[in-house]
Amino acid sequence: MAYRSVDPATGEVLAEHAGATDAEIEAALASAAEAAAAMPSLDERIAAMRAIAAAFRAQEVELATTIAREMGKPLAQGIGEVRLVASIWDWYADRPELLADRAIETDWRGRAARVELRPTGPIVGIMPWNFPYYQVARLAAPNLLLGNPVVIKHAGSCTGAALAMQAMADASGLPAGTYQTVLASSAQIATMIADPRVQGVSLTGSERAGAAVAEVAGRSLTRCVLELGGSDPFIVLSTDDLDRLVDVAIAARTRNCGQACTSAKRFIVHASLHDAFVERLAAGMRALRIGSPLEEGVDLGPMSSEAAAADLVEQVASAVAEGATLVTGGIRIPGAGAFVEPGILTGVTPTMRVWHEELFGPVAMVVPVADAEEAVRVANDSPFGLGANVFDDADPDRAAWVAERLEAGMVSIGAFGVSRPELPFGGVKRSGFGRELGPDAVLEFANRRLVTQPA
């Protein structure tokens, strides 16, 4: 399998890399197993983590430029991603207490009990292209704090970003085998997951990829964390400032060209606000500046690839063919590059294919509802359950009532949900299982070992 990076704004082939041989995969697994058996001290790991954070900060423009060219993220957004990643590495480095023993009260024969967190061994991470640095940090930082080596298989289109992270890890003082990057094929990844030296696998990606990884992991009884797709609802029941709320909605739908699992994709709006919301949303979408991700002031770059753009436009066409209304955009922009006009679909119903799919690009679905009860029904009528957002300035109690009933792993009331190092991230239903970030991430691949002894 060859790894190929293509600039989605121009179609230029940036680099090609040969895939790993089976011998190289075996060497990586052996090195990871050796690293697990001779892991440096916690203080040494923390020092390396701080060095990685500092390297991200020192190279933020270069790193952001790499992903602008490899997957189309506007430079300012890329710098924001790099800064977030540095904060993730520092957050875990600052919190060795996350590994502290937990005392358990027991009346069993006068004995004392505690739960210790111990590493389990090498963890394989299968990473996507949409947040090339952030997704890796979510897995690597908590696991290196714990003492688990990580072996990263990145998206083939973002090999430049993957190799840049490997260089930072190599320069941090981490021993060989502690953090590795492999240019593996799908078949090689399946072999790695089934290898008894591998103690866990984390994937961020599509439902199809998640199902394939879970199947292999299940057969080998390998622990796994899956962060899959999302079709997050953005529920609007009332607002004191519609213009401000629409600005939030536009950012929530179009950041990273709409290619984020937690992007707001379904705007569920009270019928009394629906028409005004759609009008302002359309005006705001049309006003976005679209262009090269390397140009200053660009709001929207290209989609990550020609295939991604074609898939989104096909979904929009399917919805229109089934009776939906395309208010604006949702079509390819003529010329070079994988550019798509940001769009809005209305009149989407549960009988349409797109109602149950994820629109992984800058197209919003807007659905009117009569009341809070209908908003909950529409929001939950999805195979996904990642994030959700609720806005109701007039009735905070009603907003809380709605939030309590949403089938989602993360709910934000009164603001669009954001990712921060301290906040656990993950979903339910077909959005996957397990948590990354926050204290919970340390637990996913830990041996929570019970120890009892005389008091």
| Spatial distance between the Cα atoms of 372 and 352, rounded to a whole number of angstroms | 23
| Spatial distance between the Cα atoms of 291 and 257, rounded to a whole number of angstroms | 11
Q: To which H or E segment does residue 209 belong?
A: helix 207-220
Contact call for residues 100 and 442 (beta carbons, < 8 A): no
Q: Does 261 participate in catalysis according to the annotation?
A: yes
DSSP per-residue letters across 384-429: EESEEEEEETT-HHHHHHHHHT---SEEEESS-----TTS-B--EE
Contact call for residues 438 and 92 (beta carbons, < 8 A): no
Q: Which two tokens stand for residue 98?
A: 């996350």
In the block, tokens 């197993």 appear at 33
Which of these is catalytic: 60, 257, 261, 444?
261
Which of these is catalytic: 227, 341, 436, 444?
227
In the block, tokens 């070079």 appear at 336
Instruction: List strand residue ranges (DSSP E) for 61-161, in order.
Output: 102-104, 111-119, 123-126, 150-153
Closest CA to 230 of 201, 200, 252, 250: 252
| Spatial distance between the Cα atoms of 200 and 220, rounded to a whole number of angstroms | 10
Closest CA to 153 of 67, 14, 28, 305: 28
| Spatial distance between the Cα atoms of 52 and 153, rounded to a whole number of angstroms | 19
Contact call for residues 282 and 344 (beta carbons, < 8 A): yes
User: How do 387-392 and 232-238 pair as beta strands?
Assistant: parallel
Q: Which two tokens stand for residue 132?
A: 């090339």
Q: Does 422 participate in catalysis according to the annotation?
A: no
Active site residues: 227, 261
